[in-house]
Structure 1
Amino acid sequence: MASISTQEGFAPFRDYRTWYRITGSLESGRLPLVVAHGGPGCTHDYVDSFKDISALDGRLVIHYDQLGNGNSTRLPEKGPDFWTVDLFLEELDSLLAHLGIAHRYAYLGQSWGGMLGAEHAVRRPAGLKALVIANSPANMHTWVSEANRLRRDLPADVQATLLRHEEAGTITDPEYIAASRVFYDRHVCRVSPWPPEVARTFAIMDEDNTVYRNMNGPTEFHVIGTMKDWTIEDRLHLIQAPTLKISGRYDEATPEVVRPYVEKVPGIQWVLFEESSHMPHVEEKDLCLSTVSNFLKEHDGVE
């Protein structure tokens, strides 16, 4: 098999830099795919497998680290007022312009990346020809409610440990982190041990959790950051781009979490991966990537 070219670079954004990596080339004529990671505050590493779509269908695949994360400019001194949805929408527009693809592209966002993608899509950008929303909520109140419902199914001692540390404010205690991992192993990534690229994202977040801490909070089910009241439910009908929604059978993004997308985005397709939780691109990689590739191929001819 011929090797696929990769290229890394930095796009200027405000006074900062956004790191990106390009896999493949534009010569195929297929829609270039921009892949946005979750969090807010993760890195591109754990969604790295989507680059292999380039090998499947010749498509250009672009990963990037959002501002404050990974290889992009880190800003640990910035507080909650700085980290906004509008900031990341502006960064996305800046990246698309820098890469020269703003007139024609596809977008895939995982978890928070899908929330960002929905915010992008309701603005009806002319260049967005296909949208994939992976494992994303449409309303953070529903997300937290469902996460805590799943949490009540954890072993009693794990629940007690979580509650004790939350009440004491000791959520950085190793015991609390270990108890949280029980939830993550059930509902975030069921591959054990975690693949290196997944572990790498979490290790980087352990070094610098500025964005996640400010926008989300300490854990998936203890959301106290600036996104705690976010919703896009009442705007989903505005999305015009062809849309694919994916989620996992054991996903923290439960059917109730994804329901607004399924009911309100015109013409949306929904695929549920039976052996996956929050990362079908890791847990059922081949099936997930082929599903996304086949969806995008349906819209490659759109100009």
Structure 2
Amino acid sequence: MAPTHTVKGTVPFRDYETWYHITGRPDTDLPALVVVHGGPGSTHDYLIGLSAFAETGGPVVLYDQLGNGGSTHLPDADPGFWTPELFDDELRNLLRRLAIADDYILFGQSWGGMLAARHAAERPAGLRGLVIANSPASYPLWLSEMDVLRAQLPPGVDETLRRHEAAGTTDADEYLEAMLVFYARHVCRLDPWPAEMMASYIEAFADPTVYRTMNGPNEFHVIGSLRDWGVIDHLPAIEVPTLVISGRHDEATPVTVRPFQELIPNARWEIFEDSSHVPHLEEPERFREVLGAFLDSVGAVGARTTTVSGG
């Protein structure tokens, strides 16, 4: 086996820095797999397992979006600073700075899938394939489906949530306890949560600037700047082969995901029956099979193998 090859660092972006983590060897002609995390305002940590795809493919690139993790934090930025256009510009800058803009595949999870879809609709010449994992096509669809999922919670839970939301006391312990009932059903059904999932959760909690500005206090009470945003109008412009992934118990319900399949000309949708929002953690073996087959189909798998770093 070849030795582990992992590189971590930062690239400049405007007046700031974007942190990245690359697994794999540079001596390959296979496209890079670029992993775009969710949130907005989470970190790469919960997706670190995707680095294993460097064993048989090109390099795997993870990064922390501006405002979180190892990238520049801007807790005092004007709320209007945080826009989808900012993060699309950051992604383009990263691809260019790492010299992979001519040959790459995008894997976007949750909000990252929406960002990746928006990016793909611009038809960048170097994009070879797209994976949209556990993403809604729009936040209005997401919010309408949140009402459906909340109504199915155990008796009294949604009433507790709505009472605190109306009072503006979403930091109350009672609210947080009720929130976790939803999370255990529709965000991650593993108990306890894997360490990499907790790492991202802790990072986002430590600096919630981006998440609270763009999303809101949690997954189902979206009152931030993204509440009316979506990518539905962009989807017909996507030309590359696309894999759409969601979980049967996902907070990204079929209603929110279906536009990707219906409007992207070359899209295939795989539903993970025993998963919610993170099938790569909840059903790792099937996830490896599904994503591996897609990468193979777009020419991103080769015979070379490496030993992969887990951190």
Which residue matches 1:184? 183
Q: Any conservation in 2 of the 1:31–1:296 contact (CA below 8 Å)?
A: no
Gaps of at least 5 residues in structure 2 are 302-311
Letter paired with 2:215: N
In the TM superposition, residue 49 of structure 1 has moved relative to its aligned partner by 1.2
Which structure carries more relative contact order (alpha carbon 8 Å, separation 6+)? 2
Greater Cα offset, 30-39 or 291-300: 291-300
What are the residue-to-residue correspondences of 1:51-90 with 2, within 5 Å? 51-55=51-55, 57-90=56-89
Q: How much has 1:72 moved relative to structure 2? A: 0.4
Instruction: Name 1:12's counterpart in structure 2.
Output: 12
The residue type equivalent to 1:16 in the other structure is Y
Q: Which amino acid aligns with 1:184?
A: Y
Task: Note if contact 2:58-2:300 (Cα within 8 Å) is conserved in structure 1.
Answer: no
- Contact kept, 8 Å, 1:31 with 1:105, in 2: the verdict is yes
Task: For 1:229-248, list aligned pairs within 5 A.
Answer: 229-248=228-247
The answer to whether the 8 A contact 1:23-1:51 is kept is: yes
- Secondary structure at 1:125 match in 2: coil
- How many residue pairs align between the two structures? 301
Q: Provide, for residues 196-235 of structure 1, a one-character-per-residue CA deviation record: whole Å limited to 9, x for no partner.
A: 1101111111111000001011111111111010122122
What's 1:24 paired with?
24
Alignment correspondent of 1:218: 217
Answering whether residue 159 of structure 2 is matched by residue 160 of structure 1, we say yes
**CA positional deviation for 1:59:** 2.5
Q: How many Å separate the matches in 1 of 2:72 and 2:142?
A: 29
Q: Quote the sequence identity (%).
A: 53
Give the CA RMSD over aligned residues: 1.3
**CA distance in structure 2 between the aligned counterparts of 1:254 and 1:36, rounded to whole angstroms:** 20
Alignment of 1:33-112 (within 5 A): 33-55=33-55, 57-112=56-111
**Separation in structure 2 between the aligned mates of residue 174 and residue 111 of structure 1, nearest angstrom:** 26
Structure 1: state its 5+ residue gaps: none
**Could you list the per-position Cα deviations for residues 259-295 of structure 1 after superposition, in whole angstroms to 9, with x for gaps in the alignment?**
1001000020111111100000100112112311221
Equivalent position of 2:306 in the other structure: none
What letter corresponds to residue 233 of structure 2 in structure 1?
Answer: D
DSSP-derived class of the 1:130 partner: strand
Separation of aligned partners in 1, 2:106 and 2:33:
6
Q: 1:280 & 1:2 partners in 2: Cα distance?
A: 29
- Compared with structure 1, are the counterparts of its residues 26 and 218 closer, same or farther at alpha carbon in structure 2 (3 Å cutoff)? same
What is the TM-score of this pair, normalised by structure 1?
0.96
SS in 2 for 1:180: helix
Q: Distance in 2 between matches of 1:178 and 1:28?
A: 48
